Copies of this chain bind each other. A is one copy, B any other.
Amino acid sequence: MEEEKELLENTNIKPSIARVKVLEYLRNNKTHPTVEEIYTSLAEEIPTLSKTTVYNTLELFENNGLARIVNVGENESRYDADISNHGHFKCDGCGRVYDFRVNMEALETRGLEGYKIWEKHLYYRGICSRCRD
């Protein structure tokens, strides 16, 4: 709560209730929630919250380096407050999205000479160990 407020202020974003709560939610729920999930969860404690606000807030966070979009091959966006370059694994059994560590800097690419790279996204799909058992 207080931490998130500070974080927003340090980024020159006015810490409105909605913004603080969305950021807090992202930092407490590292499950890569969808907009829908964020909205329905927070709507309980903020009854006046609207989905548009959640969209606006997440876009603001993305543009200011407070959150990243997570894409695992579905037609809805997920969000992650972990900004570091890491991979995501989508389990086609339980549907969960896991983080995994990966050294993306070590990747050698051919064909991007002279390109300016802003973001790197890596995701795998398969079956997690829990679902395999």
Where the two chains meet, the residues of A that have a C-beta atom closer than 8 Å to any C-beta of B are 69, 71, 73, 75-77, 87, 89, 91-92, 98-103, 106-129, 132
Contacts and interface: CB of A to CB of B under 8 A. Distances in A.
Q: How many copies does the complex hold?
A: 2
A120 to B, nearest CB: 5
Contacts of A118: 92, 124-127
Nearest to A98: B111
A108 to B, nearest CB: 6
A132 B116 contact: yes
Contacts of A125: 117-119, 121
Contacts of A120: 122-124
Which of A69, A92, A110, A116 has the most chain B CB atoms closer than 10 A to its own CB?
A116
Contacts of A101: 109-111
